[in-house]
Amino acid sequence: MLIDTHAHLCDEAFDIDRDEVIGAFEEQGVAKVIEIACDPADFDKAKALADRHERIYLNFGIHPEYASDWADKDISFIREYLKHPKCVALGEIGLDYYWEPYDKDAQIKLLRRQLDMAMELCIPVSLHIRDAYGDAMEVLTDYPNLKGVMHCFSGSAEIAERCVKMGLYVAFGGSLTFKNNKKAPAAAAVVPLDRLLLETDCPYMAPTPHRGKRCLPSMTAITCEKLAEIKGIDPARMELIAAENAKRLFGI
Ligand SMILES: [Zn+2]
């Protein structure tokens, strides 16, 4: 019943055993995985993966790290990819001020152009926001009816509450389990059960005790356990609720 709502199985970290990793899903209880294609160079690879494997769904979008290349270019080709029957959202898109140097103006411009596209097509978005919640919340107030998810949420409890008020879902991954991370559990605590999603961001962000190793979609179960502990419910119930939420938002 596990649904990993954010994975990068097209990453080169899976080049040696991608089909084996996906082949193990059934036995590991991984029902569905949303593959995030966020570099146009990988769009066709991701599409082929979803065409080949029943459990794989898709997101297409341009990550903020490519903003300086794409902010002023024609991005209308994304529309064609969004028509794929297994594509469930536009993403991941957003703002990332962690990696320097970054071009703030280009990132905001590219984000707004993709948000406009999502609104026009009535498709949810997957948002990647890192060290940029101030600017992101400002941009998002211009999109009051936006549907989507704050992926790998790393903001404060207060920002999480604002996201929920805006109608967004909030997803947590392996970083929720890190010993020194007090912020994510505090944020998870204030998000209502019907707005929580689980994800891995694999091959990155493996949860404790696998931290630093290659992350796998099956590790969603570890984050689910932690989230259940924070919410004071049974892990099996948490898994079911998160799956229902993913179904409601993404239609999968
Ligand atoms: Zn990602």
pLDDT score of 153: 96
Long-range contacts of 107-112 (CB under 8 A, 24+ apart): 107/64, 107/67, 107/71, 107/132, 108/135, 108/139, 109/67, 109/71, 109/72, 110/62, 110/64, 110/67, 110/70, 110/71, 110/75, 111/64, 111/67, 111/136, 111/139, 112/139, 112/142
pLDDT score of 20: 97
Place 131 in a pLDDT band, splitting at 50, 70 and 90: very high
Ligand 1 centre distance from Cα of residue 74 (Å): 23
pLDDT score of 246: 98
Ligand 1 centre distance from Cα of residue 228 (Å): 23
- Looking up tokens 């989230």 gives 227
pLDDT average, residue stretch 207-234: 98
Ligand 1 centre distance from Cα of residue 92 (Å): 7
Ligand 1 centre distance from Cα of residue 63 (Å): 8
Ligand 1 centre distance from Cα of residue 214 (Å): 14
Ligand 1 centre distance from Cα of residue 152 (Å): 8
pLDDT score of 52: 97
Place 35 in a pLDDT band, splitting at 50, 70 and 90: very high
* Residue 61 and residue 6 in contact, taking contact as beta carbons nearer than 8 Å: no
For the chain, the 3-state helix, strand and coil shares in percent, each to the nearest 5, are 50, 20, 35
Ligand 1 centre distance from Cα of residue 149 (Å): 12
Average pLDDT, the chain: 97
* Residue 200 and residue 173 in contact, taking contact as beta carbons nearer than 8 Å: yes
Ligand 1 centre distance from Cα of residue 38 (Å): 8
Ligand 1 centre distance from Cα of residue 141 (Å): 23
Domains along the chain with CATH numbers = 2-250 (3.20.20.140)
Query: How many CA within 13 A on the CB side of residue 39?
Result: 8
Pairing state of beta strands 56-60 and 2-7? unpaired
pLDDT average, residue stretch 79-104: 97
How does pLDDT run across 50-71, given as a tens digit for each residue? 999 999 999 999 999 999 999 9
Ligand 1 centre distance from Cα of residue 4 (Å): 12
pLDDT score of 1: 86
Q: How far apart are alpha carbons 210 and 217 in whole angstroms?
A: 13
pLDDT score of 180: 94
The residues, ordered by sequence, that sit 6+ positions from 134 with a Cβ below 8 Å of its Cβ are none
Ligand 1 centre distance from Cα of residue 186 (Å): 22
Pairing state of beta strands 56-60 and 148-150? unpaired
Pairing state of beta strands 169-172 and 2-7? unpaired
Ligand 1 centre distance from Cα of residue 202 (Å): 8
pLDDT score of 93: 98
Ligand 1 centre distance from Cα of residue 5 (Å): 10
Ligand 1 centre distance from Cα of residue 235 (Å): 24
Q: How far apart are alpha carbons 136 and 162 in whole angstroms?
A: 12
> Does the pLDDT of residue 157 top 90, yes or no?
yes
Q: How far apart are alpha carbons 237 and 43 in whole angstroms?
A: 35
pLDDT score of 128: 98
pLDDT average, residue stretch 139-149: 97
